[in-house]
Structure 1
Amino acid sequence: MEIVRHLAAYVAAAREGPLTAELREAACRSVLDLVTAAAAGIAAPGPRAARRVAPALMAGGALPIWFAGQGSGLAGAVWCNAAAAAALDLDDGHRIARGHPGAAIIPAALAAAQDVDATTEELLQAIVVGYEVGVAVGAARRFYANTGMWSGYGVVAAIGFLKRTPEEILAQAFAIAGIGAPNQLHAGAGPAFRAQEGSDVKEGIPWSGVTAVGALLLAEAGQTGPLRLLDDGEHFRLDGLVDGLGRQGYVARSYIKFHACCRHVHAPAEALLRLVAEHGIAPHGIDAIEVATYSGALRLANRPRPQGFTDIQFSIPYCLGLLACDGPDALMPLMETAVNRPEVVALAEKVSLSLDPELEARFPAETLSRVTIRAGGQSFISPVTAPRGEASDPPSWADLEAKLEQACRFVATPEQRRQLLAALRRLRAGEHAPLLDTLGTMRLSPA
């Protein structure tokens, strides 16, 4: 049986069993974190463009474009809300898939749940199922490609679960989504590809949601896809791709971000902040910053003079300059006022990056860095540092609420943040209607 048929059978079977308490809590935490990222990113350039274009490109509808007071059809809502969620690189990520499932899957699940009038438990289970399928496919590939190449599988799974799509149609939808996904190979890793630069396309995550919605609708209308798309041992590790579905609990194994930038920036950011705090190092006294790291971090563009707002998120030198100048809140959230600051550029140009064989051997299972700051004739060396929010040391619900308060303080009033947190707590208590209402009626704008 083709792998896409196995995926479809798993989605259908998942409707028969209740969620465990652990997975239910993990799904609620994922929603809290994703809504935080979307609210914080509502005014960024990428989401602004998506909201302007959606009425012309997508059919109209009443599903909410979050925090904007606009409505759209299913594809338009998924596109705009995923764009906001991915805009600041504050959304969750998954180590084994090397990408970002939540920004694609959760907007799709929330929109589809509203579209079909699903129960709260069905919504949360759809999120769990979407992560299980999307991460499984992402983790099975033998090559690196950005999230949009595989996240559509998770979107099809989540929406198909909620719509109770028959298995045969769901299998065709997976095949169509796989072949129609954004082609991300040009942005991949290795010597054949250029360094990854920042752009508002965001790994094709928002558009992968559109193609996945389209794939499901096309399959329902009778279109077929290449069912053996995933049955290719040259490109996918077939052993284990489907055997563990439903037992992996991928939704509970994501990492959480506490800086608005690519995950490869986080370990050096934490190491630098620790050194600055421990030794009282002033930015004007820094002579050099040396970052020992792994190959994934070196594949970023890492421009000391980023080419615009989003490119900052993919520059270790510039992010470290911002943190040295402005302190630990500089990237929580990232603001457009951070662009083209001379004092930050001056520090960024003092940053050097090098490959450390020991840290490379632990990548991609771990993303570690060591930072040396040279100042006033002295050298201050950090220990090998991991980023905050790893799945091995997950943040608490209170930590995630604090993240929302901090990340959204420039776009939401204290009362709006209180209302949003109250709605998210209601979801955790078993009632998702207040959250859908809040997402659709609350209007956010930068201060």
Structure 2
Amino acid sequence: MTVPTTAAAQRDAREATDVLGAWAAGLEWADVPADAQERMRLVLLDSLGVTVLGARQAEQRALVTAWRPADGPAPLPGAGRCTTVEAAAWLNAAALVRLELDEGHKFAKGHPGAHGLPAVLALAADLRATGPDTAAALVVAYEVAARFGRATSLPPGAHPHGSWGVAGAAAGCARLLGLSSAGLAAAIDTGAGLPVAGSFASALDGNPVRDAWMGASNVSGLVAARMASAGVARNTGTAASSLGGVLGTFDAAPLTAELGTRWDVRHGYFKRHASCSFTHPVADAVLALRPELPGDVGEVEEILVETHSLGAALDRTTWDSRLAALFSTPFVAAAALVHGHVGPDVSAQPVRDDPRVRELAARVTVRVAADLDARLPHERAARVTVRSGGRAHGCEVPNPIGDAAHHPLSEADVLGLLSDWLADDATVAAVRDVATGLPAVPDVRPLLQRLV
């Protein structure tokens, strides 16, 4: 049911977007605090590495072949070629999220980076933008997306991919185009009017349309920025009726709260498990318990997972695709116990059909615990109890390892994960060099093209 938008709500959205546009237009890389700069480089390192990994998957290679992308200036990392800005923005975004390894943000309730970083990088390669301008645009894309994520409350059953984050993609691309404050605001507002209404059931069903929503976000961000550059976009407070009203509810206040003092890029999380973030505390708890459990998983009688309401729907004990497995808490718990990790390989064929994993997953029960629910959004906790041989083994974790507020991952940690997943030292070194060196180069195109 669509909720009518009040004039006051539309005015608040318009005015907040004006303020956000002025901030984004004026931001320089040198203005970003050193720790936020370092975190942005780490987000870029992780995102580029995961994009290369996603690009190497058979499904992504088939998608690129079917797309038949024209030659162009923008690289497809890991795919061995360059293509047009729009094709790179879409295909790289899909590769980035394909294995559920992209960086995320619990307060934004989704993935600010993946919504716009591929578009900004593709456009930067086309424009031969400087490193400082590109780095500033990446920060703008992330921060604006995160603030729109905080401002938007989607209804139960909605997936966050491709909705509130389009505004961030638009902002980053508009900043790269050097638009004025008014132009930035118009681009952001237009991006807020181009959301996808995605169902979480698609992810649970293993439908890759979920990946396409991120591709759409990045291309829509380019569209919004170009409309603003052409002077045909306006800021009318669209978010109040699109993200609010039609898709959910929208409160404009978070768009400008602590603007310039709170850097949301500092507060995200990196993933060490290839699965939905709601399953990560479960995997961490199972791995912590694993040394005290019997070596034969057939002796495990039950695994009880208590979680928060956001993770309640991830309770399916069967799966028929990789994506469906990545969104199954029973799969993740069973795979962690059987294999000792939840890396990308455990959800690939034929490993995901290991009889030990399927049989153990059938003995996993997922329940919502009110006490864990009450700790949202600061904690995304899980409590796991494994019953075996008449004994109960329990472990509770407040947040997944990798969360900025709970065992954050360092650059060495991220590089270690990428080395394990890619098994290619030369590629990992290239990704590291691009992420580290990008903010200082006079022209980002040659640097980014090292990743093909």
Paired residue for 2:358, among 335, 339, 345? 345
SS in 1 for 2:182: helix
Aligned to 2:105: 94
Q: How does 1:163-242 map to 2 (within 5 A)?
A: 163-184=177-198, 186-187=199-200, 196-202=204-210, 204-224=213-233, 227-231=236-240, 235-242=249-256
Aligned to 1:84: 95
Change (3 A) 1:332 1:152: same
Counterpart CA distance in 2 for 1:18 and 1:252 is 15
SS in 1 for 2:40: helix
Counterpart CA distance in 2 for 1:206 and 1:326 is 32
Contact 1:79 1:209 (C-alpha < 8 Å) held by counterparts? yes
Contact 1:24 1:125 (C-alpha < 8 Å) held by counterparts? no
Contact 1:322 1:344 (C-alpha < 8 Å) held by counterparts? yes
Paired residue for 1:277, among 291, 299, 309? 291
Contact 1:67 1:441 (C-alpha < 8 Å) held by counterparts? no
Provide, for residues 19-63 of structure 1, a one-character-per-residue CA deviation record: whole Å limited to 9, x for no partner: 22112111111111111211221133653354234436xx65221
Paired residue for 2:410, among 387, 396, 399? 396
Question: Structure 2: which amino acid aligns with 1:293?
Answer: T
Q: Following TM superposition, by how much is the alpha carbon of 1:442 offset from its aligned partner in structure 2, in angstroms?
A: 4.8
Q: Following TM superposition, by how much is the alpha carbon of 1:439 offset from its aligned partner in structure 2, in angstroms?
A: 5.0
Is 1:36 aligned with 2:49? yes
Task: Specify every segment of 5 or more residues in structure 2 that has no aligned partner in the other structure, as ranges.
Answer: 1-10
Aligned residues: 429
Contact 1:261 1:313 (C-alpha < 8 Å) held by counterparts? yes
Using structure 1 for the length normalisation, give the TM-score: 0.88
Aligned to 1:255: 269
Question: Structure 2: which amino acid aligns with 1:4?
Answer: T
Counterpart CA distance in 1 for 2:297 and 2:134 is 48
Question: Structure 2: which amino acid aligns with 1:31?
Answer: L
Q: Following TM superposition, by how much is the alpha carbon of 1:153 offset from its aligned partner in structure 2, in angstroms?
A: 1.0
Counterpart CA distance in 1 for 2:356 and 2:448 is 38
Counterpart CA distance in 2 for 1:212 and 1:14 is 19
Counterpart CA distance in 2 for 1:351 and 1:245 is 44
Counterpart CA distance in 1 for 2:64 and 2:202 is 30
Is 1:374 aligned with 2:387? yes
Aligned to 2:167: 153
Change (3 A) 1:175 1:60: farther
SS in 2 for 1:379: strand
Contact 1:99 1:147 (C-alpha < 8 Å) held by counterparts? yes
Question: Structure 1: which amino acid aligns with 2:140?
Answer: V
Is 1:245 aligned with 2:259? yes
Contact 2:119 2:218 (C-alpha < 8 Å) held by counterparts? yes
Contact 2:343 2:421 (C-alpha < 8 Å) held by counterparts? no
Counterpart CA distance in 2 for 1:326 and 1:196 is 22
Counterpart CA distance in 1 for 2:303 and 2:179 is 54
Is 1:13 aligned with 2:26? yes
Task: Specify every segment of 5 or more residues in structure 1 that has no aligned partner in the other structure, as ranges.
Answer: 188-192
Change (3 A) 1:16 1:25: closer
Aligned to 1:190: none
Identity fraction in percent: 28
Of the structure 1 ranges 222-231 and 351-360, higher mean CA displacement relative to structure 2 is found in 222-231
Provide, for residues 396-443 of structure 1, a one-character-per-residue CA deviation record: whole Å limited to 9, x for no partner: 11111111111212xxx3333344334444447x4486x864653555
Paired residue for 2:367, among 354, 364, 370? 354
Change (3 A) 1:331 1:369: farther
Paired residue for 2:332, among 300, 319, 324? 319
Aligned to 1:47: 60
Aligned to 2:303: 289
Using structure 2 for the length normalisation, give the TM-score: 0.87
Q: Following TM superposition, by how much is the alpha carbon of 1:371 offset from its aligned partner in structure 2, in angstroms?
A: 0.9
Change (3 A) 1:128 1:195: closer
Q: Following TM superposition, by how much is the alpha carbon of 1:100 offset from its aligned partner in structure 2, in angstroms?
A: 0.6
What CA RMSD, in Å, does the superposition of the two structures yield over aligned residues? 2.6
Change (3 A) 1:405 1:343: same
